[in-house]
Structure 1
Amino acid sequence: MSEVAPRTDEAVPAAAHAAPGAGTRPIIELVDVSRIYPNGETVVRALDRVSLAIHPGEFVAIMGQSGSGKSTLMNIVGCLDRASSGTYRVDGVDVADLDADALAELRCSTFGFVFQRYNLLPSLTAAENVEIPAIYAGTPKEERVERAHLLLARLGLGERSEHRPSQLSGGQQQRVSISRALMNAAPVILADEPTGALDTRSGEDVLALLSELNAEGHTVILITHDPDVAAHARRIVRFQDGRIVADERHESEPARAPMPASGPARRGGLARFLPDLAEAVRMAFASMHANIFRTALTLLGIVIGVASVITMLAVGDGGKQSVLERISQIGTNLLIVRPGAAGIRSSGDNATLLPEDADALAAIPGVSAIAPERSGRYTMRYGSEDYFTSVSGTTPDYLAARDWQIARGVMFTNADVRAYAPVVVLGQTVARNLFGEDDPIGRHVLVKNVPYEVIGVLSPRGANAFGQDQDDMALVPLSTGFVRVFGRQFLNSITVKVADAGDIPKVESAITRIIAERHQAEDFQVRNTAQFLETAMETQNTLTLVLGCVAAISLLVAGIGVMNIMLVSVTERTREIGIRMATGARMSNIMLQFNTEALVVCSVGGAVGVGLGLAAALGLEAMGVTIVLSLMPPLVAFGCAFLTGLVFGYLPARKAAGLDPVVALAYE
């Protein structure tokens, strides 16, 4: 017999009806619970002071038409929503005292949800969908995989466990949903219109399965508007306008042993975090595969950014090394004395620097070599070949001062200087243009119609820091040059090499003092090549920094693109987030999942970008561009990509974690 409440405008106290295990504590207990929603200047009372007690092992149908408040009741009972007022206890625990993560723990251990629209994740197989609650319970992978297959086999889906939801019928999908609800051995099954989207036969099968689960001790709460469906329950609670208007119980309900009101205990600490992280990485790759084209476009920005950083830094470091090598060829412990006051550009026609000045400087302590020099550009001839080049008169110390070597032949000697010997040492460029592949040693060339015997060829140097070809020159004894080439005995420069770099300031001071005393005027200037090197390196470092910043900007833009894509992904996957929350995902689980997805995208893009950047740098090297590859730029670039994922993935992850489970589940 059914027992109907005598009044329809007031809630019917649940305590008025005897229940199985009535002497035990209710597993679900609501006292004067109301749920109010603002609606403009008015409010909607979805639940109005509802009191209801459900004991372990009951099979209760919550029945009512659309808008009666039954779905709102289920959301509150399942800890997906909170009451506006009143008291709600689960197994004696007041949920008002629980935060979002504690509610997630409660959903994970106590409730199993069976939804009208199944709410299966389309990208996962049936077994993977069933596993979801166990993932958030921290169950080891082998254990949950085995249990998922056992549950599916029990419900007749053993052969369909690896099929995706789109490959299953409606009845089969609902069985997967029920298997998921049972995954954590939840004592309470919440079924929201479980037959609403099924045909009659499939609906009967699902109801029979719920009755079987109830017989095993599960507390089943069935939400429905169909009296035929509600008739399968042992107790029917009728709702109207947010209130309980009837609470009917079948007198023949048998006694049964209830399920314990607690599920598997969650692990904590590192033992929990590492499996969660592994699952987040796995789900991230699955999400990337499900949206492969969008993932490729997202990766493209990261790849270009990382590759640009590596290539730009390799080119910048190569340019810096090239400048360093060229300046080092000049010499780094050199002081160069030139005629003319400081700040005034002067030529060798300025008669302020004399060979005697070089002789005076040679006596300074710490000087290892000194090379006076006078140069000019003249035409050299061999046979019918003419070549216009730089001819420099100097001393044998020129090679020591400039750290230069003889490739073939010999350098002229001090005896040649004293004897005004008509000999010449050619640079590689001059020798190649006048003699081609022939050996120039012992041949004679003409300079101003005076024959000079070629006694040596300098080793190749290449271009200097200013891009000038250092091999485009010829050396003659200084005395010979004064008499036969230049005509006047003035110097262009005096190169002084200091043995110890630490003595450079002292030697420079001595040079300035000696020449000033000799000339009785500051008609000369002393240049320190070490300072020139430092200035050049600072300039090159600035250029490298600019190149790196330009590349880093592209990485920043790519990061913003990742954030936008992830925000779009959160919106598209709002319902998925709701499903995960309903099955026990905490805020930290959702944060970890979406932040991990951003990190995985950026890490994969970073790895591909490192490879592409190295390939591009090597390609430029093959084209003749000087590059320097080192470990630091790839590490920095990959680290920046990883940091980009961490920073720009945080906002979408926080947005996902902050979603209301009820709103997320209702999202279309």
Structure 2
Amino acid sequence: MNVTTDPRRPIRNPGATPPLIALRDVRKTYETGGGLSVEVLHGISLEIHQGEFVAIMGASGSGKSTLMNILGCLDRPTSGHYFFAGQDVAGFSRDELAELRRDAFGFVFQSYNLIAGATALENVEMPGIYAGMAREAREHRAAGLLAQLGLADRLDHRPNQLSGGQQQRVSIARALMNGGRIILADEPTGALDSRAGAEVMALLRELACAGHTIILVTHDHDVAAHADRLIQIADGLISSDSGAYLPAERALAAPPAIQVPTGRLRFLGDTVEAAKMALRALHRNIFRTILTLLGIVIGVGSVVAMLAVGEGAKQDVMARISAMGTNQLVIRPGMPNQRGPSSTAGITSLVPADADAIAALPNVLAAVSERNTSATLRFGNVDYQTQVTGTTEGLPIIRDWALASGSFFTAADVRAYASVAVLGQTVVKNLFPDGGDPIDQMVLIGNAPFRVIGVLAAKGAAAFGQDMDDNVFVPLTTASLRIFGQRNIRAITVAVADTTRMDETQDAITQLLIQRHGIEDFQIRNMASIVEAASATGTTMTILLGSIAAISLVVGGIGVMNIMLVSVSERTREIGIRMATGARTRNILQQFLVEAVIVSVLGGIIGVATGIAAAYVVQAVGLPIQLSLPVMAMSLGCAAAVGLVFGLAPAIKAAHLDPVIALSSE
């Protein structure tokens, strides 16, 4: 650094200016367990002025490191007062101490305390991150500091690629990142050879000449000799102090502090930087990251696939019910809440005349009588057993069922007892396996011949699994005479014009049939109610499937928490370094929460892709699926929430570590 060294000058009276640091009867006691306590500092009183170069010297166990931790706001005194620039900081909160460390202090440690996975530039940038500096300004300042310290060609080198002297220079650059008003150096040459140690001490001397306050802790007399003031400490007390020494030509103005942004921009900047640091940490432990992702991938994939299958099954059932018509009322014989037909006063419970009377009611599009039975059809040498339904000409309207070829029988055919039939697609495939045209062919239903006049379009499976295409439709009059041998009917299907008046129409039909029969010997089934009930049942089943799948997502979240707890334990020293460089409780909490959320969201994205693939595999084996973008978005949201919830405990643990204990962790 281009700073002219300052020759020693006579002592300048320090009393002209208030001390930068003042300790008043500071004591420090440690609890050792079992109710025992040990007092390390026994009432230290000390003043240090701006611009001093002070060496605190003492044997191992004398309390010098504890004193340095208190001076650097890494630790608190048990009693006494610590005044910084006239302000008593002994009662500051954790975050207030962190802000003071960030804005006023820079640390140079014997073991360098660089983050192993970060480059030299990233290590130096760290205090600027917690000061909220813009990325471009931060990188420019960090690169400039490293260049001044002779490391311009080492910006992208990691600590294990640097020598001990180079690592210590990176540590000094980091201490200067936010101005470094006060540099605290703990045995800065202890891990260096004599040449590198001399270079580091020369740098500290230059910083002192430039106006930085240097507090050096050492047990080496040769190192202490570089300081202007020597304080000896023994058994927790100051045994000697050479007195304040401020060379006359030394600049007493403090180096400019970094301006810290506040508000929304600061929060967004912190979040972005936390995300970058989280991605670097995850990349450094890629195998562990993959294992962490696995639980979330399985959980989210299960949710997506299971909900797709559940929703697909629900939609399939609803489609089958809808194929039967949702604007219908189905009337069957039998007392309410009882099964089977009934009759009163010799009148059959339901007869075709009832359907004719219902058709004349308001809001009724059509009323179709039906009766069916199982019968054997024969064409040529082919026999096929199927369902034969006797009905009226309104069935295509009721069922919304188009014809593939030919025509449906008419009201005239019904009145004339015509021996005509309309076949379903399944019947055609089985009765005419060679693909011949069935129109105008004669088929036997039982022993009665019928002429085929039409083929219905494919309808598929209805609700409850029956094949709607496996059916033959003939005029009800003809079927009653030649197939059933009875005139009563098994059902009347009513198509309603306005579904909003469905209940009103049902009441009118009920009153009409009671009037005709003299008793309520019938049951009315509202298809809209059935659809609603089926929909509710399908929704319940989908929720059940999703809940079962969500259990695996919770298990994945527990995995995230366990891995994050391991990560906190492994990175305790890193956390201490971040705290020493100005990270507040919120910064550490935010970093680990963001890390957990990123892992979970990455796992969620992969899980969604996996769930989609699994759903298509299920579809390939014949089960219906219904993929939904809202479900996928919800799954990703749940994954992020899982990361947030299960990452909270490890993040809180990390954020509340004691800086001194964290820094001493191996």
On whether the aligned pair clears a TM of 0.5, the verdict is yes
8 Å contact from structure 1 (residues 373, 478) kept in 2: yes
1:253 Cα deviation from its structure 2 partner: 5.5
Secondary structure in structure 2 of the residue aligned to 1:376: strand
Moved more, 370-379 or 514-523: 514-523
Which of 523, 526, 536 aligns to 1:538? It is 536
Say which of 163, 179, 191 aligns to 1:185. 179
1:384 corresponds to which residue?
381
Q: How many residues align?
A: 652
Alignment counterpart, residue 394 of structure 1, candidates 372, 391, 396: 391
Pairing 1:24–2:17 present: yes
8 Å Cα contact 1:108-1:263 kept in structure 2:
no
The one-letter code of the counterpart of 2:456 is L
Maintained 8 Å contact 1:20/1:58: no
- Aligned position for 1:326: 320
2:548 equivalent in structure 1: 550
Deviations 1:201-252 (A, max 9, x none): 2112211221122122221111111112111212111111000101136989
Aligned to 1:36: 29
Match of 2:609 among 608, 611, 614: 611
Instruction: Kindly provide the CA deviation profile for residues 28-64 of structure 1, in whole angstroms up to 9, marking residues without a partner as x.
Output: 2112111112334443121111111111221111111
In structure 2, the partner of 1:467 is: 465
Question: Partner of 1:375 in structure 2?
Answer: 372
1:333-372 aligned at under 5 Å gives the runs 333-346=327-340, 351-372=348-369
Letter in 2 for 1:29: A
1:81 matched to which residue of 2? 75
What is aligned with 1:13?
Answer: none
Aligned residue type for 1:401: I
Aligned-residue sequence identity (percent) comes to: 56
Query: 1:2-151 counterparts in 2 under 5 A?
Result: 21-39=14-32, 40-151=34-145
**CA distance in structure 2 between the partners assigned to 1:268 and 1:145 by the alignment:** 20
- For 2:409, the aligned partner's letter is F
Counterpart residue number, 1:657: 655
3-state DSSP of counterpart to 1:294: helix
Aligned to 1:11: none
* Deviation of the 1:356 alpha carbon: 2.4
Supply the RMSD in Å over aligned alpha carbons: 2.0
Structure 2: state its 5+ residue gaps: 1-9
In structure 1, the gaps of 5 or more residues are 1-16
In the TM superposition, residue 102 of structure 1 has moved relative to its aligned partner by 1.6
* CA positional deviation for 1:482: 1.4
Does the 8 A contact of 2:363 with 2:498 survive in 1?
yes
Selected match of 1:200 from 173, 186, 194:
194
Residues 1:219 and 2:213 aligned together: yes
- Alignment partner of 1:48: what SS? strand
What is the rounded CA distance, in whole Å, between the counterparts of 1:20 and 1:582 in structure 2?
33
1:274-285 equivalences under 5 Å are 274-285=268-279
352-361 or 420-429, which moves further after superposition?
352-361
For residues 92-112 of structure 1, give each alpha carbon's deviation from its aligned partner in whole angstroms, at most 9, with x where no partner exists. 221124222221111111111
C-alpha distance in structure 2 between counterparts of 1:548 and 1:275, whole Å: 37
Q: Residue 90 of structure 2 aligns to a residue in which SS? A: helix
Say which of 260, 274, 277 aligns to 1:266: 260
1:174 & 1:290 partners in 2: Cα distance? 23
* AA partner of residue 294 (structure 2): L
For the residues of structure 2 that align with 1:402 and 1:246, how far apart are their CA atoms? 106
* CA distance in structure 2 between the partners assigned to 1:251 and 1:377 by the alignment: 115
Cα separation, 2, equivalents of 1:474 and 1:405: 15
| Aligned partners of 2:113 and 2:577 also within 8 Å | yes
For 1:235 and 1:369, the matched residues in 2 are separated by 109
How far is 1:553 from its partner?
Answer: 2.0
User: 1:600 maps to what in 2?
Assistant: 598
CA contact (8 A) 2:49 2:244 kept: no
Higher alpha-carbon deviation: 127-136 or 299-308:
299-308
Instruction: Choose from 418, 424, 427 the match for 2:424.
Output: 427
- Conserved in 1, the CA contact under 8 Å of 2:12 and 2:245? no
Alpha-carbon distance in structure 2 between the residues aligned to 1:226 and 1:91? 30
Residues of 1 paired with 2:282 and 2:53: CA distance? 42
**Aligned equivalent of 2:6:** none
After TM superposition, give the deviation of residue 348 of structure 1 in Å: 10
- Give TM-score scaled by structure 2 length: 0.94
Q: Using the alignment, how far apart are the partners of 1:513 and 1:213 within structure 2?
A: 103
User: What CA distance in whole angstroms lies between the structure 2 residues aligned with 1:572 and 1:139?
Assistant: 28
Which residue is equivalent to 1:174? 168
- 1:237 aligns to what? 231
* CA distance in 1 between partners of 2:271 and 2:362 (Å): 69
Conserved? CA contact 2:297–2:607, under 8 Å: yes
Q: Secondary structure at the match of 2:42?
A: strand
**Aligned positions of 1:637-648 closer than 5 A:** 637-648=635-646
Measured at CA, do residues 617 and 251 of structure 1 come closer, stay the same or move farther in structure 2, by a change above 3 Å? closer
For 1:291-341, what per-residue CA distance to the aligned partner results, in whole angstroms no more than 9, with x for missing partners?
111111111222222222222222222222211211111111211111222
Moved more, 603-612 or 401-410: 603-612
Distance in 2 between residues matched to 1:146 and 1:81, nearest whole Å = 32
Aligned partner letter, 1:379: T
Instruction: Tell me which amino acid in the other structure corresponds to 2:511.
Output: R
Which residue in 2 is equivalent to 1:635? 633
Aligned to 1:403: 400
Residue equivalent to 1:620: 618
* Equivalent AA in structure 1 for residue 499 of structure 2: A
| Cα distance change, pair 248–524 in 1 and its aligned pair in 2 (3 A) | same
Specify the SS of the correspondent of 1:96. coil
State whether residues 348 and 374 of structure 1, in contact with CA within 8 Å, keep that contact through their aligned partners in structure 2: no
Partner of 2:494: helix, strand, or coil? strand
2:325–2:398 Cα contact (<8 Å) kept: yes
**Structure 1 residue 465 displacement after superposition:** 0.9
Superimposed CA distance per residue, residues 411-441 of structure 1 (whole angstroms, 9 cap, x where no aligned partner): 0111111221111100000011111322111
Secondary structure (helix, strand or coil) at the match of 1:629 reads: coil
Q: Which whole-Å CA distance do the structure 2 matches of 1:279 and 1:362 have between them?
A: 74
In the TM superposition, what is the alpha-carbon distance from 1:20 to its structure 2 partner? 6.2
Write the letter of the residue equivalent to 1:150. Answer: G
Instruction: Pick which of 90-99 and 159-168 moved more.
Output: 90-99
CA positional deviation for 1:186: 1.0
Choose 455-464 or 257-266, whichever is displaced more: 257-266
2:12–2:246 CA contact under 8 A, matched in 1: no
Could you say if the C-alpha distance between residues 557 and 433 of structure 1 is closer, same or farther in structure 2, counting changes exceeding 3 Å?
same
TM-score, L = length of structure 1: 0.94
**Is contact 1:127–1:148 with CA below 8 Å preserved after alignment?**
yes
Change (3 A) 1:166 1:492: same
**Alpha carbons 1:112, 1:190 under 8 Å: kept:** yes
Indicate conservation of the 8 Å contact 1:389/1:473, yes or no. yes
Q: By how many angstroms is 1:629 displaced?
A: 2.6
Does 356-365 or 331-340 show the bigger shift? 356-365
Question: CA offset at residue 516 of structure 1?
Answer: 2.7
SS for the counterpart of 1:117 is coil
Contact 1:219–1:259 (Cα < 8 Å) also in 2: no
**Counterpart of 1:466 in 2: which secondary structure?**
helix
C-alpha distance in 2 between matches for 1:656 and 1:326 = 56
Q: By how many angstroms is 1:161 displaced? A: 1.5
- Look up the match of 2:5: none
Shift of 1:81: 0.7
CA deviation string 1:520-572 (max 9, x = no partner): 33332221111111111111111011112112222222222222222221121
Structure 2 distance, partners of 1:614, 1:86, is 65
Match of 1:12 in 2: none
Tell me how far 1:402 sits from its aligned partner: 1.6
Amino acid at match of 1:463: A
